Amino acid sequence: MLSNEELEKEFQAKIDAEIKIEPKDWMPEAYRKTLIRQISQHAHSEVVGMLPEGNWITRAPSLRSKVILLAKVQDEAGHGLYLYSAAETLGVDREDLIEELHTGKAKYSSIFNYPTLTWADIGAIGWLVDGAAIANQVMLCRTSYGPYARAMVRICKEESFHQRQGYEIMLKMAKGTPEQKQMAQDALNRWWWPSLMMFGPPDDKSIHSAQSLKWKIKRQTNDELRQEFIDKTVKQAEYLGLTIPDPHLKWNEERQHYDFGPINWEEFYQVINGNGPCNRQRLKARIKAHEEGAWVREAAIAYAEKKQAKKTAA
Ligand code: BYC
């Protein structure tokens, strides 16, 4: 029988050799815990993320835009389901994870605590929020835990469609009437900085990064991904004829990256600690939906049990 130390050595060797870790493989308890934390937070983000966009389904400006938005919001629910299922392979119960969200113990992405004030916000979410999500999630398609990596492949394909949906709205508004262009600019002004915060605290303040990089749960740091996102998005804003609300934004020839201004980390910590503009509203809406959906879960379980009983009797 191998000692814990030997098991850990074998585990790290597997990671270093790019062999995926699967649910029944031995893994350090801290690896399991980190994954449960990250995957469940990710699942919660997908589900809470339906709220700011769902707010605009009944007010979409055309049948076409309504159908597309409806499909996008449904995709987010699907992402939540793949991710809760991936978390369950680590030996946790979905109900317990949801309970942690509802009691405020578990985090979800800071970005969904901001309000969607106009239709242009739906464009900005697709363009910037889904754009930032893709930057982060492409890396996660190569994460070391098999079920998480496989879920991410499908999620990324759908997120690319979401990003296009948002950019199309922004393009239409930015090239529309002066009022429409102003709405697009206003949405960019409000969503730009919170989108940069999605990547998490700066590397020297990120408590989990070093270990997660060693275990290849993460493949790039928060700051690397944030920079990649900025570099890519500046050109897209230029094409739209919109101005990114950062007077310090400037191409740095030496670094071959854009320099950017200071991020308000005080605001970020306020938001992730429950004090953002919409935290209470979001949790209230999720709890209400969960309570009102109890009969659906009970009916699904009763149906499955009935089917199983029939099978056993046959
Ligand atoms: N918001 O040590 P760090 C979507 C927390 S949904 C809230 O760097 P880590 C979409 C962090 O959890 C996109 N909390 O952590 C859906 C930690 O606190 P705890 C969601 C944040 O894990 C619908 C503490 O700060 N994407 O795309 O190494 C519609 C220290 O941070 C945030 C994912 O969830 C934040 N922004 O790195 C449209 C991706 N940032 O847990 C779109 C998966 C940090 O110790 N997650 N914190 O209490 C990840 O890749 C990583 O967890 C993060 C953070 C990069 C987010």
Predicted local distance difference test score (pLDDT) of residue 1: 81
Cα gap 226→135, rounded to integer Å = 8
Average pLDDT, the chain: 97
Would the CB of 133 count as within 6 Å of ligand 1?
yes
Pocket test for ligand 1, best of 34, 39, 45 (most atoms within 8 A of CB): 45
Predicted local distance difference test score (pLDDT) of residue 193: 98
Q: What is the pTM of this model?
A: 0.95
2-46 pLDDT, tens digit each: 899 999 999 999 999 999 999 999 999 999 999 999 999 999 999
Place of tokens 């999720």: 286
* Phi–psi pair at 298, nearest 5 degrees: -65, -45
Q: Which ligand 1 atom sits nearest the alpha carbon of residue 137?
A: 39
* Phi–psi pair at 21, nearest 5 degrees: -90, 130
If you average pLDDT over residues 283-311, what whole number do you get? 95
Cα gap 125→131, rounded to integer Å = 8
Cα gap 23→21, rounded to integer Å = 7
Predicted local distance difference test score (pLDDT) of residue 282: 97
Spacing, Cα 104 to ligand 1 middle (Å)? 15
Task: Check if the beta carbon of residue 140 is closer than 8 Å to that of residue 73.
Answer: no
Closest CA to 227 of 247, 243, 203, 191: 203
Predicted local distance difference test score (pLDDT) of residue 225: 98
| The token pair that represents 151 in the structure block | 């879920």
83-132 pLDDT, tens digit each: 999 999 999 999 999 999 999 999 999 999 999 999 999 999 999 999 99
Spacing, Cα 41 to ligand 1 middle (Å)? 7
The residues, ordered by sequence, that sit 6+ positions from 45 with a Cβ below 8 Å of its Cβ are 108, 109, 112
Task: Check if the beta carbon of residue 97 is closer than 8 Å to that of residue 161.
Answer: no
From start to end of the chain, where are the E strands? 250-252, 257-259
Q: Give 163's strand partners.
A: none
Predicted local distance difference test score (pLDDT) of residue 195: 98
pLDDT band at 314 (very low <50, low <70, confident <90, very high): confident
230-287 pLDDT, tens digit each: 999 999 999 999 999 999 999 999 999 999 999 999 999 999 999 999 999 999 999 9
Q: What percent of the chain is modeled with pLDDT above 70?
A: 100
pLDDT band at 136 (very low <50, low <70, confident <90, very high): very high
Predicted local distance difference test score (pLDDT) of residue 187: 98
Predicted local distance difference test score (pLDDT) of residue 2: 86
Cα gap 80→82, rounded to integer Å = 6
Task: Check if the beta carbon of residue 68 is closer than 8 Å to that of residue 130.
Answer: no
Residues in the chain: 314
